[in-house]
Amino acid sequence: MHIEQEYFFWKLIHDLVVVQEFDVLHMNTKDQEVWLEKEYNWKNHVVRLKHTQINWRNELKRDVQITYQQLKQNRQLFRGGKVVLHSLYVSEFPPVDEWEDIKEDLKSERFDSYIYYLDDEKKEKERSRFYSFFDIEDAILDHNISEFEMESILPYLKQQIVLKHKERKKEAQNAFQFGKPIMTYVLLALNLLAFAYVEWQGSSTSVLTLIEFGAKYNPGIIEGEWWRIVTSMFLHIGLLHLFMNMLALFYLGNAVERIYGSFRFTGIYFLAGIFGGISSFMLNPHVAAGASGAIFGLFGALLYFGVRNRRLFFRTMGWNLLFVIALNIAFGVLVPQVDNGAHMGGLVGGFIASVIFSLPKKKSIAVQSAASIAYIVILAIMISLGLQNVFNGEQTLSQVQETQELNQNGKYEEVISITSQALKEPGSYEAALRFNRSYAYIQVGEKEKAKEDLEVVVEKEPDLAEAYYNLAILHQQNGNKAKAADFAKTAAELNPDNEDFRKLADKLSQ
């Protein structure tokens, strides 16, 4: 009778592994013990099968407790979902005393547990109960054959189980080795060359230089310069910005390109970068540049890989990746200079783009088509909202940044032209625009116009000490000492640490 139990045991395992797609975690042919795993309903189901004869309830309870302990010790293998344990015992006879309430004695454990005792009398009923749990078709296990036939089939069954296990293990390894990181290095080189060229021509921290070489500049985009969405992906603001992005691109690019292959990787990178750039246009009025949107798209690509390969994802990069994404999001929230629009847009765009291109050898025309439509529709909505200034009504902030630097470079006529145009719809930056224009007016000799601008500035920004100081200078030059003294006094009160303000106030008060 022992051979019948052994045959049933290995025939059952063969069906679960080869037909029902359970994964082998551990296999001990000598002790007749096998551990399997299957993801079902977003839970990790661990199945321990044991061929043994258990005579007493306490003996069974001890064995179940040992199983619990082994599962706890290897809990790190099952991160990413709730663990459910199924213990199957294949035996000729059941324990002598009642054992069905064992689970009640162990209900303090932190995971759900099910026990199946497949003795000769109940083996079909218990096997059906186990199969129905997973909603899989109940297999017909032929055990009405001779013992000789059973014995001859056993090696074949074990061999097929081992081969299937090796095949799945190889598939998992191949999931990270589909492509070679060729485009990653091409993109790294392009970014480095672009940075070197910008530094050669000017300065990567100069707003004017960034705008000239294709940074995301909302007023320009509104006028039709949509190419800035792509060119801004290859510009960086300073060496630290470049270093951080290239470091991320090196590691993420290597991982994503190996998983997806060069063609899919390139498509995901650019679609994510464009999505992030449009998101930034919709949400962020600042002049912006950098590969961050595309790089966050690579995060999105790895998340999609995790959705399609959840168990493998959480056993490899899963929790570390989620931690890095959360850390970057938190950093973006805490640091105001970070372009969160590009980051979040890139993350979402990268995920959608990954669905569009799909994983190698896992095509789904319907899903990929739906994702393509979703990408286009969302992109169109973001463009429309950006053009209507729904979330980025402070577009003139870009002109404030631009004209500040133009003043520093002595290009006063350009400042006057740009600010005069921007003041038609100034938003909340009228004071800043007028202050920049007033400085330019002073430099070109238009002092009355400068005075008019500064009077509006102090009305709208009563705490701007520099505006009062400039008004004091202008009134002093016009011979109006009383007004000049009042403005100088206010400037000194608002900024008592400024030596120039204090000196002028003291001089005019004498």
Active site residues: 292, 343
What would the two tokens of residue 120 be?
């000769």
Considering only CA atoms, which of 69, 56, 62, 47 is closest in space to residue 115? 47
Rg of the chain (C-alpha set): 35
Contact between residue 38 and residue 45 where contact means Cβ atoms under 8 Å apart = yes
Q: Rounded to a whole number, what is the distance in angstroms from the first to the last CA of the chain?
A: 118
Cα dihedral: 255, 258, 263, 269 (round 10): 0
What would the two tokens of residue 228 be?
């800035």
β-bridge mates for residue 50, sequence order = 33, 89
Considering only CA atoms, which of 353, 383, 373, 214 is closest in space to residue 283? 383
Residue 204: burial class (beta carbons within 10 Å; 0-12, 13-18, 19+): buried
Contact between residue 341 and residue 277 where contact means Cβ atoms under 8 Å apart = no
β-bridge mates for residue 48, sequence order = 35, 87
Cα–Cα distance measured from residue 378 to residue 462, given in angstroms and rounded to the nearest whole number? 42
Cα–Cα distance measured from residue 346 to residue 223, given in angstroms and rounded to the nearest whole number? 24
Considering only CA atoms, which of 421, 371, 433, 367 is closest in space to residue 397? 433
Residue 259: burial class (beta carbons within 10 Å; 0-12, 13-18, 19+): buried
Contact between residue 28 and residue 44 where contact means Cβ atoms under 8 Å apart = no
Cα–Cα distance measured from residue 456 to residue 446, given in angstroms and rounded to the nearest whole number? 16
- Which long-range contacts link 327-333 to residues 24+ away (Cβ below 8 Å)? 328/296, 328/299
Cα–Cα distance measured from residue 449 to residue 438, given in angstroms and rounded to the nearest whole number? 7
The b/e string for 36-75 (b: 16+ C-beta within 10 A; e otherwise) is bbbbeeeebbbbbbbbeebeebeebbebbeebbeebeeee
What would the two tokens of residue 174 be?
């191949």
Cα–Cα distance measured from residue 373 to residue 381, given in angstroms and rounded to the nearest whole number? 12
Q: Please give the DSSP secondary-structure letter assigned to residue 77.
A: G
Contact between residue 81 and residue 44 where contact means Cβ atoms under 8 Å apart = yes
